């Protein structure tokens, strides 16, 4: 008899995990989502086998339950499940970006089901079930946050279930997870949003601010375009870590202020040099907490059909673009295209193909 898997939430993450599970296991996958269109598409695409008649009935028959929903929704589901019956030996996990509060809430169900917090640290700039890919988590870190009482055998069982994601599993406590992701993901999103607010305020002084922000500024603040509702929930669930980081940031900015007030040439140079050295030492080929942007910048001559030439070369090589944009604020060359790709492999292949046709391109 086939094992039963329940995916609650059929978006990009839930759909991609379902595809990974199906890749390695002969299972029956049931889906539950408040969006009927997502459910219909999930069945049509073969991501799930059927939709749940009711969540309570689906939970009762499932060997593995995955809560692939935002943190606040997961908390609400866990509260509802206090009255549910679970299959003996069932495992449950989630995919939330914060873990401490979720794991505390899930502990109230520990007499019914084994819950192991999870956070697959990969994503995409597309959403919904149609964007789900079996290779979405390949080479990405997938953090598991088991409670101290969870047995290693149960953790291994969950890893086996998720083997088809081809992710790299890490184990840490819920508190450590929230501290780490607060520093490398949650806090940078605050900074990006703050930079945008700052420029919006500066626009009142000079309208040219937004005109010139169309280039590099948009690039470094891309993550500020993420879901406001999602980031509201993340900030509130990781409040203590982020308050600590904000205090640390205040001290960092005060340090820069002093260097500037003192016109400390050597100190300012060292400040930027140390940042440059540390950044260049960061891993390049691993997926991290913030989805990577696989962008290629292409210098294009100022003549009719140049952009068409670039896209034709990529089309002939069967390389798919996810986005193309003309950058306007370049003074040293006639024009530059920013091409965005689904993967590092696509980007590298595009660079090679364009080079064969004498187009100069570079990766920042």
The 3-class SS string of 137-170 reads: CCCEEEEEECCCCCCHHHHHHHHHHCHHHCCEEE
Do 12 and 125 belong to one domain? yes
Do 160 and 194 belong to one domain? no
Q: What are the tens digits of pLDDT across the range 215-239?
A: 678 778 888 888 898 899 999 999 9
pLDDT at 360: 84
CB 115 within 8 A of CB 106: yes
CB 57 within 8 A of CB 81: no
Q: How far apart are CA 118 and CA 102, in angstroms?
A: 10
| Domain-terminating residue out of 280, 315, 349 | 280
| Domain-terminating residue out of 136, 154, 172 | 172
Residue 165: closest CA among 17, 28, 10: 17
Q: Is the dihedral of CA 35, 102, 47, 285 positive or negative?
A: positive
Q: How far apart are CA 86 and CA 335, in angstroms?
A: 60
Q: How far apart are CA 74 and CA 58, in angstroms?
A: 16
Q: How far apart are CA 11 and CA 42, in angstroms?
A: 9
- pTM listed for this prediction: 0.76
Q: How far apart are CA 139 and CA 116, in angstroms?
A: 21
Residue 285 lies in a domain: no
Do 97 and 159 belong to one domain? yes
Residue 58 lies in a domain: yes
pLDDT at 329: 42
Classified as helix, coil or strand, 184 is helix
DSSP secondary-structure letter at 186? Answer: I
Do 156 and 56 belong to one domain? yes
Do 257 and 298 belong to one domain? no
Containing domain of residue 311, as a range? 294-362
Residue 286 lies in a domain: no
For tokens 């798919």, the residue is 320
Do 22 and 116 belong to one domain? yes
pLDDT at 97: 92
Q: How far apart are CA 86 and CA 67, in angstroms?
A: 15
Residue 304 lies in a domain: yes
Residue 287 lies in a domain: no
Do 227 and 322 belong to one domain? no
Q: What are the tens digits of pLDDT across the range 181-218?
A: 999 999 999 999 999 999 888 888 887 887 777 667 87
CB 173 within 8 A of CB 145: yes
Do 168 and 181 belong to one domain? no
CB 300 within 8 A of CB 336: yes
Residue 260 lies in a domain: yes
Do 55 and 100 belong to one domain? yes
pLDDT at 283: 74
Q: Which residues pair with 64 in a beta bridge?
A: 5, 91
DSSP secondary-structure letter at 282? Answer: S
Element (H, E) at 350: helix 344-356
User: Torsions phi, psi of 288, nearest 5?
Assistant: -125, -160
Residue 65 lies in a domain: yes
Question: Given 3-state DSSP classes, what are the helix, strand and coil percentages for the chain, each rounded to the nearest 5?
Answer: 50, 15, 35
Do 34 and 147 belong to one domain? yes
pLDDT at 363: 80
**How many structural domains compose the chain?**
3
Q: What is the Cα gyration radius of the chain?
A: 23
Do 194 and 147 belong to one domain? no
CB 311 within 8 A of CB 321: yes
Residue 338: closest CA among 310, 302, 303: 310
Do 129 and 145 belong to one domain? yes
Residue 142 lies in a domain: yes
CATH assignment at residue 270: 1.10.3660.10
Token digits of residue 310: 């670039």
| Domain-terminating residue out of 114, 139, 172 | 172
For tokens 């690039």, the residue is 219
Which ranges of the chain have pLDDT less than 50?
Answer: 329-333
- Edge-first strand listing for the sheet containing 321-327: 321-327, 336-341, 294-299, 361-362
pLDDT at 331: 43
CATH assignment at residue 340: 3.30.2130.10
CATH assignment at residue 17: 3.40.50.720
């Amino acid at each position: 008899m086939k094992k039963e898997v329940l995916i609650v939430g059929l978006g990009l993450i839930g759909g991609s995990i379902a595809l990974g599970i199906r890749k390695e296991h002969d299972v029956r996958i049931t889906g539950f989502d408040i969006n009927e269109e997502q459910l219909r598409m999930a069945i049509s695409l073969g991501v799930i086998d059927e939709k749940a008649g009711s969540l309570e009935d689906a939970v009762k028959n499932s060997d593995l339950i995955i809560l692939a929903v935002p943190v606040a929704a997961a908390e609400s589901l866990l509260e509802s499940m206090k009255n549910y019956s679970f299959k003996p030996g069932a495992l449950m996990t989630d995919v939330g970006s914060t873990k401490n509060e979720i794991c505390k809430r899930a502990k109230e169900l520990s007499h019914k089901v084994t819950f192991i917090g999870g956070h697959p640290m990969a994503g995409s700039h597309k959403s919904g079930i149609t964007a789900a890919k079996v290779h979405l988590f390949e080479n990405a870190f997938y953090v598991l946050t088991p409670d101290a009482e969870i047995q290693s055998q149960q953790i291994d069982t969950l890893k086996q279930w998720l083997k088809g994601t081809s992710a790299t599993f890490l184990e840490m406590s819920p508190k450590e997870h929230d501290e780490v992701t607060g520093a490398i993901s949650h806090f940078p999103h605050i900074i990006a949003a703050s930079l945008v607010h700052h420029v919006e305020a500066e626009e009142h002084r000079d309208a040219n601010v937004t005109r010139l922000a169309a280039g590099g500024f948009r690039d470094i603040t891309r993550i500020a375009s993420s879901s406001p509702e999602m980031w509201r929930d993340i900030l509130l669930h990781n409040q203590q870590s982020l308050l600590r980081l904000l205090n640390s940031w205040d001290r960092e900015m005060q340090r820069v202020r002093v260097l500037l007030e003192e016109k400390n040439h050597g100190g300012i140079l060292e400040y930027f040099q140390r940042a440059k050295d540390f950044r260049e030492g960061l891993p390049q080929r691993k997926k991290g907490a913030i989805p990577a942007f696989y962008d290629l910048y292409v210098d294009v001559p100022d003549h009719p059909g140049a952009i068409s030439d670039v896209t034709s070369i990529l089309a002939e090589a069967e390389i798919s673009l996810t986005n193309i944009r003309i950058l306007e604020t370049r003074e040293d060359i006639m024009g530059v295209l920013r091409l965005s790709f689904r993967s590092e492999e696509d980007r590298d292949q595009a660079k090679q193909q364009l080079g064969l046709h004498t187009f100069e391109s570079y990766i920042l």
